[in-house]
Structure formats: C-alpha cells, structure tokens
Amino acid sequence: MLLLNQILQEEQKMNLTVSQDFNFKSPINKVWNALIDSDTLAKWIMENNFKPIVGHICQFRNEQWNLIVDCEVLVVDEPYKLSYTWVGGPINTIVTWTLKQEDGTTNLHLEQTGFEKEDQAFNGAKYGWAKMGEELKKVLEEM
C-alpha cells in the first residue's frame, strides 16, 4: 500500500496542470478566430507562425524575453477545441483550449498539462496565461 501511495504521488507530481477559465461577451466564432489566426495571436500571446492544421509545426517567439516555444498542433475541432504542444525552456507541456457558448457568453477553458513540479515555470505559466487572458479580452473588444 505504501508503494502504491508513492507511485500515485509521483504521478501527481508529473501531472500538474494549469487550469484557467475566461468568459467573454463575444460569440464563440470570434473567440475561436482569436485562437487560430496568427496575426491575432501575436497581439495577445506572441509572434508566431501558427496554422490550425493538425500536425503543423510552429513557433511562438518573444525576442524581448529571448523565448522560443516550439509547438505541434494536435487537435482542431472548430470552434470547440484546440490543442498543441508547448515546449520551451524547461517545459514540455500540452495546451488545450475548450470553448462553450451560453447565453451570449463564450467560456474559454485553458489547460496546460505536463508540468513535473510546482516550480518557476509552472507558476510563470499560471501568471502568464492570466495576463494573456486579459490581453485577449482587449483584443476581442477591438475586433
């Protein structure tokens, strides 16, 4: 039983997830387009060469931070789900966006899975996505 508990604790450590929800007074298709359009993504995440095609390999780049994030698109289920790898610096994770529209509001759920420990990268991701969610809100209001 002790060994089983140790194994479960190790699995939990390797499966830390950043999970955040955002609500926008925008139609689901507008929010979806902000997730898949490279020019729009550059306004709220980073410069990129993203294309919403399963298997497409791309990068998000921030020269100011000297940061390059390598990605491969895993799931495109328009306009409900988008998933891609997010590999850069010390992290090798998967980002998944899930969209749902109810009563004129679009709920955008983010999960970034695969963190091995609750460290600077994990906490930085939590902070970063919260900040980017605020930027996305501004971008949607301008669209």
Q: For position 1, what pLDDT does the model report?
A: 53
Full strand arrangement of the beta sheet holding 67-77:
16-24, 105-115, 91-102, 81-88, 67-77, 57-62, 47-48
Token digits of residue 44: 């709220």
111-122 tens-digit pLDDT:
999 998 888 889
pLDDT tens sequence across 56-115: 999 999 988 888 999 999 999 999 999 999 999 888 999 999 999 999 899 999 999 999
* Confidence band of 15 (pLDDT split at 50, 70, 90): confident
Six-digit token pair at 142? 């301008």
Provide the pLDDT for residue 65.
Answer: 80
Domains parsed from the chain with CATH numbers: 16-142 (3.30.530.20)
pTM metric for this prediction: 0.88
